[in-house]
Amino acid sequence: MRRFRKILYVHEENSPVALETLQLALKIAEKNTGRVDLVTVLEPPSVTFASNISLLLQSGWLKESREQLRQLGLLADPQGKLNTKVIEGRPHIQVVREVLKEAYDLVIKPVGPSGFMDRLLGRLDMRLLRDCPCPVWLSKGEAYGAFDNVLAAVDAGGEIFLEDHTEKPKAKDALNRQILELAYSLCAENNARLHVGHAWYPPFLSPYSRARANIPQKEIDAYFNTVKRTHTGWLKLLLEEAADWVGMDVVESVKTKLHLPRGEPATEIPKLISDVQADLVIMGTVVRTGISGLVMGNTAESILDRVTCSVLAVKPEGFVSSVTLDE
């Protein structure tokens, strides 16, 4: 199973769950014999000219931020072993560059402070979900060991072929594998229930499609049932393969429930999060490819703004960030 041994905690000054999120990061590192580094990125305001006063204010601002980050580190680890760093620049770019330079395998940060219409995720959160090459954990402050329900959102992508029911659909998608490996690992360590969610809807047949007008309802119902059986078979096969990935002993130790809501993922996944009272949702995020309806873009961003729990987002292997180490 995947382990997080090198964790970067990204601090946002106004977050009400900063300390809880740092403690969560330390617990994860402890479980994996790893380490946590702290960083905060300050984006200087644009100025048309520099003066002695502005330079003094900037120096004081940096000094104050360093001290705040140091004090936060001491609250979480009184022994003072945590490394802290304050950087100036565009926050998401500097965080991604730290990941690239130091090869972190997890970025964890508290969700941004509530803003317009109490949106969960802020600008930095969204940009990290788009550009960070390693998994990103956006925490609402749940303590490690306090997870009761974890939702793993998976998708078949192009693996299901509806015209051929003689062969089992293949379930070898690397992104789904990452999601399930992480989900089983976290559930096993936290004695949590795992919910595996897969939203589906028959292709070419929206609820308001004119194409269905000339088709008898009996045939449409049969088509729905055929598609549902295919998706159900795919999901069960995926769980069978997960036993090989994580080990049968781990699978048998985790209470697992499958969910196959009929509808678009953009609508059904947030509903499912609420229905199962998920403390954490694990999902894939890529740009314009991957989990249909759950990709980074307008649809996914509207989903994530509605999520009421912590989010652990992973990228497919081979993902290349648009952010580079070059200035």
* Tens of pLDDT, residues 207-236: 556 556 677 888 888 888 988 998 999 999
Task: For 87-140, write each residue's pLDDT tens digit.
Answer: 999 999 999 999 999 999 999 999 865 544 335 566 788 888 888 999 999 998
User: Between residues 163 and 44, which one has the greater pLDDT?
Assistant: 44
CATH of the domain at 73: 3.40.50.620
Q: Is 254 helix (H, G, I), strand (E, B) or coil?
A: coil
User: Between residues 307 and 89, which one has the greater pLDDT?
Assistant: 89
Asked if residue 125 belongs to a domain, the reply is yes
Task: For 87-100, write each residue's pLDDT tens digit.
Answer: 999 999 999 999 99
Locate all alpha helices (DSSP H) within the chain, ordered by sequence.
Answer: 18-31, 52-76, 91-102, 123-131, 174-190, 217-246, 248-253, 265-275, 298-306
Last residue of a domain, one of 113, 142, 171: 142
Residue 55: give the domain boundaries.
1-142
Pair 126, 218 in one domain: no
* Domain tally, the chain: 2
Cα angle for residues 128, 132, 137 (degrees, 5° grid): 65
Residues 146-164 have a mean pLDDT of 74
Pair 133, 152 in one domain: no
What's residue 162's pLDDT? 47
Label residues 288-321 b or e (16+ Cβ within 10 Å = b): eebbbbbbbeebbbebbbbbebbbbbbbbeebeb
Cα–Cα dist 197/296, whole Å: 19
What's residue 275's pLDDT? 95
Pair 246, 278 in one domain: yes
Cα–Cα dist 99/109, whole Å: 14
Asked if residue 86 belongs to a domain, the reply is yes
Asked if residue 175 belongs to a domain, the reply is yes
Max Cα distance, the chain (Å): 79
Q: What is the mean pLDDT of the chain?
A: 82
Strand pairing class (256-259; 280-284):
unpaired
Pair 175, 132 in one domain: no
Question: Residue 10 class from Cβ within 10 Å (0-12 exposed, 13-18 middle, 19+ buried)?
Answer: buried
What's residue 301's pLDDT? 61
Asked if residue 185 belongs to a domain, the reply is yes
What's residue 179's pLDDT? 92
Pair 149, 134 in one domain: no
Residue 60 has pLDDT above 70, yes or no: yes
Confidence (pTM): 0.86
Question: DSSP characters for 267-299?
Answer: HHHHHHHHHTT-SEEEEE--BSSSSTT-SBTHH
Q: Give the closest residue to 39 by CA, choosing from 76, 78, 101, 82.
A: 82
Pair 33, 103 in one domain: yes
Asked if residue 170 belongs to a domain, the reply is yes
Pair 243, 136 in one domain: no
Cα–Cα dist 208/206, whole Å: 5
